[in-house]
Amino acid sequence: MELLNHDLAHEFPQYLEKMRGLKMSDPHFSSLFAQYDADNHAITKYEFGVGVISDEALEDLKKRRLRIKDEIYEILKVA
């Protein structure tokens, strides 16, 4: 099974410079970025079979990652 890379550099390559700047200047954005990154790493770990998680908990984690990504995108669009 091939898994997609969901890190933010791959999700939003057109906003790399904005993300770098916002991580340094905007504490809220930095917090969102860190939470997205942590969730993404956890999801990847579970998808590769490292660790145990219920299907429902994994789905909830993926939904949270998506909500955070949407919020990050909204910030990037207006920055």
How does residue 20 score in pLDDT terms, banded at 50, 70 and 90?
very high
Write out the two tokens for 38.
């942590």
pLDDT for 5: 79
Q: 47-71 burial, b if ≥16 CB within 10 A, otherwise e? A: eeeeeeeeeeeeeebbeebeebbee
Q: Is the pLDDT of residue 63 over 50?
A: yes
How does residue 1 score in pLDDT terms, banded at 50, 70 and 90?
very low
The domain ranges of the chain are 13-78
Query: In 3D, which of 42, 23, 43 has the Cα closest to residue 34?
Result: 23
Q: Are 18 and 79 in contact (CB under 8 A)?
A: yes
**What average pLDDT is seen over the chain?**
94
Q: Are 45 and 62 in contact (CB under 8 A)?
A: no
